[in-house]
Amino acid sequence: MNAKIHVAIIDDGVNAGFLNTQLLYNVEMAHGGVEDGGTLNHGTLCAAIVQTYFPDVIISSVKIMNHRKGNAVQLCAALDWCVKHGVQVANISLGSINYRDRGMLREAVNDAAMAGLIMVCAAQNGGLLTYPASFANVIGVRCDRNGILTAGQYTYDPEMAFSSGIDFTAFAKHELLGAAGEAVQCPNSNSYATPFVTAQVCKVLQQFKHVPSIEKLKHILHKNSYRPIQDTGLPVMRYKHPDWIRRAFVFKENCTVGSEAPYYFQTQYEARLPRAKVAAIIEQAILHEREQQSTTLEGGQQRVDLTDTIVLLGDMDPVNVQEVEPLALRYGKHVVYISKNQRHIPTLNFSSHHLRWWQQEERFFFKQEETIAVEDSHIPLICIYYNKGVDIIYFLHVLRESFARDGYQSWIAVDQAAAVLHDMEYLSLSDESNELQELITVAGTIAYSAYADIVILCLEASDITDCNKERGLSGVDIELSVRVKAEAERIHILIRTEQEYLKEWVLPNLNVDDIDRFYECLEQLLVN
């Protein structure tokens, strides 16, 4: 007899009568209840799809919505409940397009993934970035809107997986049969493509005694998909963001200047590396953590919450970087390598071990049909030029906090790859004027898809007196130059708007109070 797989339908409740089955758990975090009888609410249809394609399912209902409305706090609580009650797969045919929810949901998802929960999540039907569907530690799903797939088919889209985190496209117009013989056809929606993929996940899990890694699971799904991509190892290993990090070892090359801004993740250990014995120092940190974690806590419980990623910052000796590879594989660590002038191609096959090796992409393009004009997005765009000596990531971090305090969500892109460690985007740029216009369009498009209130694009410039208006570029509402004047050792900020408004600020340093006072002026310009 095949093993049963426990699936939680995190939704607006499940009517067990339509399924002709009993629910293992029926939990309500948003009260209101599902009516008895033949009510075909959203959660019931999702459960029926899973049951149709995988009859060996054990279903629990975790109700977090009433009238299709819920919130991120309830979703985080639902994931925690799933972990504590032995759920193997969570079907999440919902999500948030609110960028403000991103950090909270990412932390909850990464915690649940570490505990072994597999999460299958629907993208938003309008194409906006969706959380948690866009995260690396979940399986993101959308429906087939081109009429290519038929019942029982799904496919993998590497470009979509990279740009938005949505891994699979699946058939959604399922024909269901209720316990009383009633026939129902599902509309073509991401919500109903997702439980079909959940059923495919359950089929894979039946083959394993232990829960496979999310990378291995995606790889198997890809191999079983409709028209899998040939001549490739693991296309699912490429991610735009290293958003899976819960806890990291951070090692900096000696000459690397870091930022005072906090990382979005926890740091177990942070240190500067000498020119030699790099691998030995990293291994010593890993073993020291293992020794600490193996200590038995009160009651006999053991901690297994180990660091998941090694972060390398700076232009390191290629031999040293290569020595980190077998070390990471041996101890099961992902690697994030951020270097301004180097790109390292791993000699060992990380993908075969289902581990991630992340470094910045040289360029990032949108298809022309996917881009929108910045003016059409109606999102104000601030372009910031800065020079060396400015901790621009810290400046942006404080600025973002000030915007958030007043209810504005800012989407920030920086030409430093290390920005991804601080919950910002990385976008690179050459010196060509037309490429800058393209970058402005891309920034506006991504910010629009992220449902942000403000776009901030930040670029290093040797001559920061240059400005977009003189280049004939469009879409920029406010320009800032942020520079350190060596002779005065002070921060100079110049504001310029489309209406030729000019104002100069001189700050003694980049501290929270000074940046916050500057923000008040900036906010007034945006409001007026």
Look at residue 84 and give its three-state secondary structure: helix
3-class DSSP state for residue 163? Answer: helix
Q: What is the DSSP letter of 296?
A: B
DSSP, collapsed to helix, strand or coil, labels residue 142 as strand
pLDDT in tens, 482-494: 888 765 567 888 8
pLDDT in tens, 233-277: 544 567 888 999 999 999 998 777 788 999 999 998 888 888 788
Cα–Cα distances (Å) from 396 to 81, 390, 425, 496, in that order, read 36, 11, 12, 18
Which burial class, exposed, middle or buried, applies to 294 when counting CB atoms under 10 A from its CB (0-12, 13-18, 19+)? exposed
pLDDT of 369 higher than 70: no
Helix (H, G, I), strand (E, B) or coil at 327: helix
Most confident of 233-237, 365-369, 518-522: 518-522
Comparison of pLDDT for 401 and 254, the residue scoring more = 401
Band of pLDDT at residue 286, cut at 50, 70 and 90: very high
Measured CA to CA, the distance from residue 267 to residue 107 in angstroms comes to 14
- For the segment 284-312, the average pLDDT, to the nearest whole number, is 76
Q: Quick check: 163 pLDDT over 70?
A: yes
- Among candidates 187, 188, 137, which has minimal Cα distance to 167? 137
pLDDT at 527: 83
Give CA angle at 364 (126, 432), nearest 5°.
125
Q: CATH number of the domain at 368-527, out of 3.30.70, 1.20.1440, 3.40.50, 3.90.1690?
A: 3.40.50
End-to-end CA distance of the chain: 69
DSSP 91-125: EE---B--GGGHHHHHHHHHHHHHTT-EEEEEPPT
Whole-angstrom Cα distance, residue 522 to residue 514?
13
Contacts of 61 by beta carbon, 8 Å cutoff, 6+ apart:
8, 9, 11, 13, 14, 23, 25, 26, 27, 34, 43, 47
* pTM reported for the whole predicted model: 0.90
Instruction: Show the beta-strand stretches assigned E in 180-265.
Output: 183-185, 247-253
Q: Is 161 helix (H, G, I), strand (E, B) or coil?
A: helix
Environment class of residue 305 by beta-carbon count within 10 Å: exposed (0-12), middle (13-18) or buried (19+)? middle
The β-bridge partners of 141 are 122, 168
Name residue, tokens 């496979």: 212
CATH number assigned to the domain with residue range 5-237, chosen from the 4 options 3.90.230.10, 3.40.50.360, 3.40.50.200, 3.40.50.10090: 3.40.50.200
> For position 301, what pLDDT does the model report?
54
Residues in the chain, how many? 528
Q: Identify which has the larger pLDDT, 419 or 37.
A: 419
482 vs 97: CA distance, rounded Å = 32
CA dist., res. 133 & res. 442, Å (int): 21
User: CA distances (Å), 459 to each of 51, 59, 161, 175, 256, in order?
Assistant: 51, 51, 27, 52, 19
Helix, strand, or coil here: 410?
strand
Q: What is the Cα–Cα distance from 359 to 338, expressed in whole angstroms?
A: 6
What is the pLDDT confidence band of residue 365, given thresholds at 50, 70 and 90?
Answer: very low
Instruction: List every span in the chain annotated with CATH 3.40.50.200.
Output: 5-237
Q: Are 130 and 104 in contact (CB under 8 A)?
A: no
pLDDT, greater one: 52 or 362: 52
Beta bridge pairs of residue 89 = 7, 118
What span, in angstroms and rounded, lies between the C-alpha atoms of 354 and 251? 23
Displacement of CA 2 from its chain's centroid (Å):
35
Q: Which of 212-226, 391-405, 491-505 has the lowest mean pLDDT?
A: 491-505
Confidence of residue 20 (pLDDT cuts 50, 70, 90): confident
Residues 118-138: tens digit of each pLDDT: 999 999 998 888 999 999 999
Q: Which long-range contacts (CB under 8 A, 24 or more apart) does 205-212 make?
A: 205/5, 205/88, 205/89, 205/118, 206/2, 206/3, 206/5, 206/56, 211/88, 211/116, 211/118, 212/354
Tell whether the model's pLDDT for residue 36 goes beyond 60.
Answer: no
Going by pLDDT thresholds of 50, 70 and 90, the confidence category of residue 405 is: very high
Gyration radius of the chain's alpha carbons = 25
Q: Is a pLDDT exceeding 90 seen at residue 203?
A: yes
Phi and psi at 390, nearest 5°, equal -95, 125
Q: Determine how β-strand 118-122 pairs with β-strand 139-143.
A: parallel
The set of residues, in sequence order, having a beta carbon less than 8 Å from that of 326 and lying 6+ positions away, is: 348
Query: Which residue, chain included where needed, has tokens 């900020």?
Result: 493
Report pLDDT digits (tens) over 325-352.
999 999 999 999 999 888 888 888 888 8
Please answer whether residues 446 and 413 qualify as being in contact, where contact means their C-beta atoms are separated by less than 8 angstroms.
yes
- With tokens 């290093």, the residue in question is 460
Stretch 405-415: mean pLDDT, rounded?
92
C-beta of residue 309 within 8 angstroms of C-beta of residue 248: yes
Q: How would you classify the pairing of strands 247-253 and 183-185?
A: unpaired
Report the pLDDT averaged over residues 500-505. 76
pLDDT of residue 420: 95
Mean pLDDT of the chain: 85
φ/ψ of 170, rounded to 5, equals -135, 155
Q: How far apart are CA 250 and CA 234, in angstroms?
A: 26
Mean pLDDT of 176-193: 91
Question: If we measure between CA atoms, which residue out of 76, 82, 48 comes closest to residue 62?
Answer: 82
Determine the Cα–Cα distance for residues 515 and 509; give it in Å rounded to an integer: 9
